[in-house]
Every structure is written in structure tokens, then in C-alpha cells.
Amino acid sequence: MQFSNEEWFTKAKAVTPGGVDSPVRAFKGVGGTPRFMQSASGATLTDVEGKKYIDYCMSWGPLMFGHRDAEIEAAIIDALAKGWTYGTASPYSVLLAELIVKEIPCVEKIRFVNSGTEAVMSALRVARGATKRTKIVKFDGCYHGHVDSLLIRAGSGLAEMASPDSAGVTPAQAGDTIVAPLDDEQALETIFKTHGNEIAALIIEPLPANNGLLPQRPEFLKFLREVTTRYGALLIFDEVMSGFRIGFGGMAEETGITPDLITYGKIIGGGFPVGAYGGRKELMDLVAPQGPVYQAGTLSGNPVAMTAGITMLKKLLNEKPFANLQKATESLGKTVEKIAAKYAPYPITVQSHGSKFWMICGETKGTVRHINQIPPEHKERFAGIFHGLLKRGFYLAPSGFEVGFMATVHTSEINAAFATAFEDVLKEQQ
């Protein structure tokens, strides 16, 4: 494509901040030049220099069946041929909503927006509207999109920055947010004792996966339901990444916990920009035009995006790939650990849940459940492994704090090739 990755990066930096549309893509966490991808198919990304990579980032999660899945592609093209935005009521979003409401018991009504960020922002507004309270409890290391009031100790791109908080967030916005540590019932008990009657909602990624993968104890998640109910606050599950990925019904289904509100994104749009928030009927009926909580969107319910989402979700219901993906992910994790035990001068463990995995480079004691347990050397060591793999044609998310995603296109042959490349990288580093 005429220019090299390096040249595209120079061009991009001249006209956009950092040369990217979203921070982590700039490779700041691993160093080097980001690869500018020009096309993709199945498990493979192709950059502007024609080099191919096996992709374990999968556009940060949405692509359960890989790039350009034939069924989804055909549905998109069909929808596109009829028109690509109507700005009216239309059946496409109704069909997607019906499908979700039928399959997910805690979602009685749902509203579509254009990103996970918007979904979270809107859910918080509903929670505040419903409870007439102002404060929100979030967790250290949980990311909920770039909502002002939640850009505090949020992980994702912020995990790589000097300050865990974003500039440009006013003290007033930050002041309504209470940050709690993960995996700590006592801390929450204290927070609710002090602020209980001011807290509108507690929001959590029930499977935190934006600051490494930090699985929470089921009892801890159950405690969140109990303490919020006790104090009349709402429980919001941010399932933008876990919903439809670790299982169709995400963590709500897996844990049997019923949140009051739930947010979706990533997978729900089949690779198009879609987010959604939903929950109990009486809460969702607070949303305009039914109720007083305003929320709107010029391109919301886009017919092409809705079609991609419907096709993705139907395919997930039909093919139920979740158990096989989990098996493949666990098996790859074990293989990586075994190879590391042979060659790496330090321990490497892989934490996985469903089709998400995270490699930890350094000494750990038991399951890593909160950010303080991440070894300080992890970031630099991961960068070395990342570049070794990239050179050999394997693309992981370019940050030690982001997770990997397995899709159905990652065949056992592909995963075996990954293991061989990984072994090669460690041998080279010796």
C-alpha cells in the first residue's frame, strides 16, 4: 500500500494525536511502530507492507468467528443493499432486542447506542434518575469506557500512563465517584456504611479484563448484590466485553446473579459500533420518550450494525462455540506455561476465563485478583515477548494489561504454531 508502517505512522502523527484513533493501538506500552492493517480474513490480519499476522486481539473481542465470517458478511451486504441509515423507527433493532430479551432473563428492555462508553454513561444516568442519588462506586482497575466520572484508576490505556487518572475530568465529576479495591468485602462495607444513602449504583466488570484478567471470587460478586440491595443502590454489570463472549448470557448467566442494569458492546454489534444498556422494565421505562431520563442517538439502531449483531448472536446461539473456545484457551494457556517453565528465566502464568486469556510475566502468589498483585517487571517482560511474537507473525494486543481473545478460527494447528513461535521467542531471549 504505497507507504510502509513507519511512513504511515509519521503521516498519522502529523494529523492525529499519537497517530491513532484509540491510545493502546500506538504501541506505547510495548514500544516500536504500530502495524497499520489494511485487510483481514479469518484469523489473519495483513498490514500495509503485506505482512500477515495471526490475530489474537480480534478487534478487542467482538469477532467471535474471526474476521469476515462468511455468514455475517453476507447478512451485512444484504442489509446494506437496502439502505444504511433510516433515522426512523425500523424493524432491525426490534429483532435484536427481542432476541436478547428472550435469551437473557435480567434484560426485560434494552436500548441501543453506538459504543460501550455510551452504554455505560446512559446506565449511570438511569441509575441516578431512578435512585435520586449522585454517587457511583467503581473498582480500581475496572474500565468502563471513557465516561468522565469513571476515568479514575480505570486500567485499559490508563494502565500504561504515568497517572492512573485522566486530565480534563473536573473535581466535581470525580467527586461523585468512589473507587473501591477489587476482592475486598470489608472495604465496600466501610464505603457503604459511610456513603450508603448517597450511592446510586455500584458498577463492575464482573470479569475485570482491562487491567489484566482479574477473576473475582463468586462470593465477592454475590456480596456486591447483597450490599447494594441492603443500601438501596443499583448493581450494574458492565458486560461490554464479557457479554456474549464467555457464554451467551455473560457473567450474569454464569454467576446466577441478577444485576439491575447491564451494559453491552463489542460482540453485540458483530464488529460494528454498537453498545446497549438494559435491565429491569421499570428502570428502562425511565428512559425517554417513556420516562424523564434523556438519551438519544442520530445513528442509533443503525440497520447494518443491527444486522451484523443479529447474525452474530444467532450464530452464537446455533453453534454454541463457548465450551470449545474455553477448552482451546485453557489448553493454550497450559502449553504456554509448560514452555515457559522450560525456557523462561522467570515464571509465566496464564489466567484465562472462557475465551479470554492473560499472560503474567513474573512471580505471582495464587490467582491475581487485583492490580497490586501484578508483578512490577511484567510490563517490560511482556513487551519483549510481544515483539518476538510479532516478528514471527503473531499479533497480541499491544499491552501487557490487555487480554487475548480466542475465536473459532483459531484452529488447533494455528494454536500449535503459536506455541512453537512462543518457544522460539523464549529460546532467543536466553
Ligand X SMILES: *Cc1c(COP(=O)(O)O)cnc(C)c1O
Cβ 424 to ligand X shortest distance, Å: 31
Among the listed residues 138, 266, 315, 379, the single catalytic one is 266
# of chain residues touching ligand X (CB under 6 A): 15
The window from 139-147, 178-186, 324-332, 409-417 that contacts ligand X (CB under 6 A) reads 139-147
Q: Does 237 bind ligand X (CB under 6 A)?
A: no
Asked if 241 is part of the footprint of ligand X (rule: CB under 6 A), the reply reads yes
Site mask, ligand X, residues 264-293, x = CB under 6 A? -xx--------x------------------
- DSSP three-state, residue 33: coil
Q: Looking at 69, 160, 205, 260, which residue binds ligand X (CB under 6 A)?
A: 205
Nearest CA to 105 out of 279, 307, 298 is that of 279
Report whether the peptide linkage leading into residue 347 is cis, meaning its omega lies within 30 degrees of zero: no
To the query of whether residue 143 is one of the catalytic residues in this protein, the response is yes
Q: First and final CA of the chain: distance in angstroms?
A: 36
Cα dist. 362→152, 158, 217, 331, 359 in Å? 26, 21, 22, 20, 10
**Binding of ligand X by 306 (CB under 6 A):** no
The C-alpha atoms of residue 224 and residue 255 are separated, in whole angstroms, by 12
Given 53, 56, 92, 143, the catalytic residue = 143
Selection from 163, 185, 186 nearest residue 174 by Cα: 163
Count of alpha carbons within 13 angstroms of residue 124, beta-carbon side: 24
Say which of 69, 238, 264, 315 is annotated catalytic.
Answer: 238
Q: Which of 19, 145, 271, 279 binds ligand X (CB under 6 A)?
A: 145
Residue among 29 and 116 whose Cβ is closer to ligand X: 116
Which position among 120, 287, 360, 371 is part of the footprint of ligand X (CB under 6 A)?
120
Q: Which is nearer to ligand X, 113 or 390 (CB)?
A: 113
Nearer to ligand X, 109 or 146 (CB): 146
Contacting residue, 5, 46, 210, 408, with ligand X by CB under 6 A? 210
Q: Would you call 136 helix, strand, or coil by DSSP?
A: strand
- Of 115 and 355, the one with the shorter C-beta distance to ligand X is 115
Cβ proximity of 202 and 236 under 8 Å: yes
Q: How far is CA 123 from its chain centroid?
A: 17
Q: Is 266 a catalytic residue?
A: yes
Residue 156 CB, shortest distance to ligand X, in Å, is 7
Q: Which is nearer to ligand X, 270 or 388 (CB)?
A: 270
3-state class (DSSP) for residue 275: strand
Q: Could you say whether residue 160 binds ligand X (CB under 6 A)? A: no
Q: Establish if 115 lies at the interface with ligand X (CB under 6 A).
A: yes
Sequence-distant (6+) residues with CB within 8 A of 92 are 79, 301, 303, 306, 307, 310
Nearer to ligand X, 106 or 421 (CB): 106
For the sheet with 275-279, list strands across it. 109-113, 275-279, 261-264, 234-238, 199-204, 135-139, 177-180
- Which region, judged by CB under 6 A, interacts with ligand X, from 116-124, 218-226, 336-344, 420-428? 116-124
Nearer to ligand X, 47 or 238 (CB): 238
Q: Is 238 a known active-site residue?
A: yes
User: What span, in angstroms and rounded, lies between the C-alpha atoms of 293 and 287?
Assistant: 5
Q: Are 95 and 314 contacting, i.e. CB atoms less than 8 angstroms apart?
A: no
Interacting residue ranges for ligand X, rule: CB under 6 A: 115-117, 120, 143-145, 205, 210, 238, 240-241, 265-266, 275
Catalytic residues: 143, 238, 266
